[in-house]
């Protein structure tokens, strides 16, 4: 921090630890900030689109992540720079809100910053640039609304939903079986969706993965998979038409919470106590039996005596099932969670068509799957894959697809992908810019140029001539007046995204443009950065 001196040449100590703080002011600060933002965006640029590349990230403790998902990359990079962190936040909030398009939003923001830099060089006031961007973003969003189409949301015809999810998945590592995965995702979302309120609680979809098998073996289970096995190895491995007792109490004599002590002063008393304990076990099993349960799922453990007894009385049981899973099982099977044995009644039992233990290949791992449930309001997507990294990436990809499907249920507007929406917006903003008096005009033109960054990156990543391709498509859009011409990334032979069935959600796109503008505005408004220089 620069020191101030008075007339007598004495320095002021105005601010705490003045000499240890770094301070960047004015245009210099803006330039430095833009630089930081741009370099973050540059990293993600190559990940965009169906031909985008993946990044491999190694965490300090040696875990390796391979991903194509913008939010994940940025989060794992552990960006230190303050402005870089803003970009990370940006992609994270796109992830929170929409779940998809996390790369696109950062690329757009980076392009906006790049354009702003040249405007600042011309001496345009940063706030005027920000104002211009804001105006332009409004026009872009209007244009998006205009070119969007609605499709009827119909439980029987899920094709449009599946197509949109496929667009999301096509850029991921799992692109080759995108059809299967998209179908799984859509079915899962529709199963848990509350179509009347247009509300989807993604907590009800469980993503479970297991190394081994092929990606194609990934399946949707109308029920729950838990990473547990039956408590006794001799219990049957497969049960049909199961009635499940879901317990949150341990299989052991109940303990009062109040501090207690039993005084045993004679042999008889000891005997009675032992008898009583035994009686408890007996009663508990009996109560489950009486209620008609054929399977017991217990949140807590039970000791060997109980285990033996259960085995003996032919009542399969699972122990140590976590609270969340327990809840999902209850929802899926339509059962009630029972807090003590006395409350167990037949109508509180959950029903499932099939419960079986799955063994995988030659490994000893077993999982318990509860399938064909009475009420499939809770489902599981069971992911298989060659290694842990693939499974993790598949889970992330499916999460993206789930979010897309959820957004479509919330708002069924779609726009066409392949950069076509961006090009259409860019054209609209360009046209509107000419009508705006003042410096903002320049900012709006810059905004239009920045919007081209997404199709440019798409073309570049697909190995096409970026500028040639973009200009060709742009010219075609203007000439033919159809807004769904985009970059032909997969070399199908047509630029018509409608024919290629490349869709994206309208709210996702809108959010991308608005969020990017917002963050860029924030960065442009900063003219003073004060940091403790020891903080590196």
Residues annotated catalytic, as ranges: 69, 102-103, 400
Least Å distance, CB 84 to other proteins, is 11
Nearest residue (CB) to other proteins, 364 versus 535: 535
Contact map string, positions 281 to 320, toward other proteins, x by CB under 8 A: ------------------x---------------------
Query: Smallest distance from the beta carbon of 161 to other proteins, in angstroms?
Result: 18
| DSSP tag of 241 | E
Q: Which of residues 262-281 bind other proteins (CB under 8 A)?
A: 262-265, 269, 272-273, 276
Mind spelling out the 3-state secondary structure of 368-437?
Answer: EEEEEECCCCCEEEEEEECCHHHHHHHHHHHHHHHHHHHHHHHCCEEEECCCHHHHHHHHHHHHHHCCCC
Is 338 an interacting residue with respect to other proteins (CB under 8 A)? yes
Residues of span 444-503 touching other proteins by CB under 8 A: none
Select from 35, 56, 254, 471 the one that contacts other proteins (CB under 8 A).
254
Residues in region 374-393 near other proteins by CB under 8 A = none
Residue ranges in 191-210 that form contacts with other proteins under rule CB under 8 A? 197, 199-201, 203-204
**26-65 binders of other proteins (CB under 8 A):** 29, 33
Site string for other proteins, 102-141 (x = CB under 8 A): -----------------------xxxx-xx--x-------
Q: 267: burial class by Cβ within 10 Å (0-12, 13-18, 19+)?
A: exposed
**In this structure, are strands 55-58 and 205-211 parallel, antiparallel, or unpaired?**
unpaired
Number of residues that bind other proteins (CB under 8 A): 89
Furthest C-alpha separation in the chain: 101
d(CA 515, CA 287): 57
To the nearest whole angstrom, how small is the minimum distance from the Cβ of residue 532 to other proteins?
4
Tokens coding 79:
């960006």
Selected range binding other proteins among 51-59, 224-232, 487-495, 512-520, rule: CB under 8 A: 512-520
Query: Using CA atoms in the order 250, 255, 257, 261, what is the torsion angle rounded to 10 degrees?
Result: -160
Q: How far is the CB of 253 from other proteins (least distance, A)?
A: 8
The set of residues, in sequence order, having a beta carbon less than 8 Å from that of 458 and lying 6+ positions away, is 48, 49, 418, 419, 486, 487, 489
Distance of CA 326 to the CA centre of its chain: 23
Q: Which of 61, 155, 234, 258 binds other proteins (CB under 8 A)?
A: 258
Identify which of residues 256 and 481 has a Cβ nearer to other proteins in the complex: 256
Contacts of other proteins in 429-448 (CB under 8 A): 438
Q: What is the DSSP letter of 477?
A: H
* Contact between residue 79 and residue 71 where contact means Cβ atoms under 8 Å apart: no
Binding to other proteins by residue 16, rule CB under 8 A?
A: yes
């Amino acid at each position: 921090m620069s020191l101030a001196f008075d007339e007598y040449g004495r320095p002021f100590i105005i601010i705490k630890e003045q000499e240890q703080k770094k301070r960047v002011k004015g245009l210099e600060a803006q330039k430095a900030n833009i630089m930081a933002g741009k370099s973050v965006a540059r990293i993600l640029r190559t990940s965009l689109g169906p031909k985008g590349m993946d990044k491999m990230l190694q965490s300090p403790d040696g875990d390796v992540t391979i991903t194509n998902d913008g939010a994940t990359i940025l989060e794992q990079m552990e960006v230190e720079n303050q402005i870089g962190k803003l970009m990370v936040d940006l992609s994270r909030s796109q992830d929170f809100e929409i779940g998809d398009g996390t790369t696109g939003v950062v690329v757009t923001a980076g392009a906006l910053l790049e354009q702003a830099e040249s405007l600042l060089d011309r001496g345009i006031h940063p706030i005027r640039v920000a104002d211009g961007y804001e105006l332009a973003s409004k026009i872009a969003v209007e244009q998006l609304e205009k070119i969007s189409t609605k499709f009827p949301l119909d439980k029987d015809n899920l094709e449009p939903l599946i197509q949109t999810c496929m667009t999301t998945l096509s850029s991921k590592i799992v692109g080759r079986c995108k059809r299967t995965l998209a179908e799984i995702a859509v079915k899962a979302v529709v199963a848990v969706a509350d179509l009347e309120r247009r509300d989807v609680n993604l907590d009800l979809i469980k993503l479970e993965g297991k190394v081994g098998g092929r990606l194609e073996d990934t399946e949707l289970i109308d029920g729950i998979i838990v990473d547990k096995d039956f408590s006794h190895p001799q219990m049957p491995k497969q049960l049909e038409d199961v009635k499940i007792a879901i317990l949150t109490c341990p299989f052991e004599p109940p303990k009062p919470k109040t501090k207690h002590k039993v005084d045993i002063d004679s042999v008889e008393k000891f005997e009675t106590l032992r008898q009583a304990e035994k009686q408890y076990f007996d009663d508990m099993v009996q109560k489950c039996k009486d209620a008609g349960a054929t399977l017991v799922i217990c949140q807590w453990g039970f000791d060997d005596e109980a285990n033996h007894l259960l085995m003996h009385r032919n009542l399969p049981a699972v122990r140590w099932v976590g609270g969340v899973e327990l809840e999902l099982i209850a929802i899926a099977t339509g059962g009630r969670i029972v807090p003590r044995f006395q409350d167990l009644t037949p109508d509180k039992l959950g029903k499932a068509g099939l419960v079986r233990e799955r063994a995988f290949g030659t490994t000893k791992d077993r999982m318990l799957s509860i399938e064909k449930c009475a009420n499939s309001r809770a489902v599981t997507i069971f992911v298989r894959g060659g290694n842990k990294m693939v499974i993790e990436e598949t889970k992330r990809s499916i999460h993206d697809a789930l979010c897309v499907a959820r957004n479509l249920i919330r708002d069924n507007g779609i726009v066409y992908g392949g950069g076509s929406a961006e090009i259409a917006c860019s054209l609209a903003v360009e046209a509107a810019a000419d009508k705006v008096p003042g410096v903002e005009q320049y900012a709006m033109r810059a905004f239009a140029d920045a919007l081209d960054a997404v199709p440019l990156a798409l073309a570049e990543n697909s190995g096409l001539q970026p500028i040639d391709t973009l200009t060709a498509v742009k010219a075609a859009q203007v000439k033919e007046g159809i807004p769904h011409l985009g970059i032909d990334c997969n070399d199908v032979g047509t630029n018509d995204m409608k024919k290629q069935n490349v869709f994206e959600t309208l709210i996702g796109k809108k959010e991308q443009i608005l969020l990017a503008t917002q963050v860029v505005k924030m960065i442009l408004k900063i003219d003073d950065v004060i940091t403790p220089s020891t903080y590196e």
